[in-house]
Amino acid sequence: NAGVTQTPKFRILKIGQSMTLQCTQDMNHNYMYWYRQDPGMGLKLIYYSVGAGITDKGEVPNGYNVSRSTTEDFPLRLELAAPSQTSVYFCASSQTVNEQFFGPGTRLTVL
Amino acid sequence: AQRVTQPEKLLSVFKGAPVELKCNYSYSGSPELFWYVQYSRQRLQLLLRHISRESIKGFTADLNKGETSFHLKKPFAQEEDSAMYYCALLGSNYKLTFGKGTLLTVNP
C-alpha cells in the first residue's frame, strides 16, 4: 500500500494563479482531510470529507475548494492564489476518527 | 471552542534524561487526545492515544481531566526521539485540533 500520496511535492505560484493539489489514498478510508501548516502555528484544518460526495468546511476554508467524487481522491483547489496561502499542505485519511494517516505534504509558495 | 496549548516551542535534553512534553486543552465535552510525531524527513504519524493507555517507544501520556492536561513523558530520552511532537484533540464532527508543536532535541 502506498498509503496517502500527494502531488506535487513543491510548487511556486504567482498571485492570482490557480492550481489543484492532488491527494489519493489506497486504504479505502471514508474520512479525508486537508490541513495547512504555517511555521510555528501547528496544523489547521481546511476542509474534510466523511465519504464520497460529502465535504465540509474546517477552520480555515476561505480561498479553497474541495470535491470528493470517489473514495480514493480528495483534491484541493486554489482559485486565486494569494501570498497568505504560502504554506505546507497535508492531506490525511482515516477509517475511524481515531487515527489519521498523513501524506508527505506539498510545499506551496505564492509570489 | 476547543483549543490545544503546547507551551514549549523547543525542548532540549541530554540522552538518558527524563523528558516531559506539556499539553493542555480546553474542551467542553469529553476529550479524546492524541500525540502525533514527525521525525526529520518523514510524514506526521500517530504516536499514541489516551484511550489506548499504551506505551509506545517508551512514551506514555496520562489524561488529567482536573488539570486538563495530557503531558507526554519518557523516563530516559534517546537520540532517535528527536522530532516534532504535536498534541491533538478530537472534538465534534471528526475534527482534530492540533497544538503548535514542540521540537524535541535529544543531545548525545
Task: Indicate the residue of A41, A45, A101 with minimum beta-carbon distance to B95.
Answer: A45
- Residue A21 CB neighbour total at 10 angstroms: 23
Beta strands, E only, chain A: 4-7, 10-13, 19-25, 31-37, 43-51, 54-57, 64-66, 76-78, 87-94, 101-102, 106-110
Say what the pLDDT of residue B79 is: 97
How many interchain CB pairs under 8 A, A with B?
52
Structure-derived torsion over alpha carbons of residues A53, A56, A60, A64, reported in degrees to the nearest 10: 30
- Of the ranges A57-61, A90-94, A95-99, B17-21, which one carries the lowest mean pLDDT score? A95-99
Mutate to test the interface with A, among B2, B4, B38, B43 (most CBs of A within 10 A): B43
Residue B82 grid coordinates: 528527536
Residues A24-83: pLDDT tens digits? 999 999 999 999 999 878 899 999 999 999 999 998 999 999 999 999 999 999 989 999
Residues B12-51: pLDDT tens digits? 999 999 999 999 999 988 889 999 999 998 899 999 988 7
CB A64 within 8 A of CB A47: yes
SS3 B5: strand
Say what the pLDDT of residue B38 is: 93
Close Cβ partners of B41 (under 8 Å, ≥ 6 residues apart): none
B90 and A98 within 8 Å at the Cβ level: the answer is: yes
Residue B81 grid coordinates: 526521539
Contacts of B93 in chain A (CB under 8 A): 56
Report how far residue A57's alpha carbon sits from residue A62's, in angstroms, rounded to the nearest whole number: 9
A97: contact with B, CB 8 A cutoff: yes
Residue A15 grid coordinates: 498571485
CB A37 within 8 A of CB B80: no
CA distance B16 to chain A (A): 28
Strand partners, B49: B34
A61: contact with B, CB 8 A cutoff: no
Question: Which DSSP string do the residues of A14-35 spell out, in sequence order?
Answer: -TT--EEEEEEESS--SEEEEE
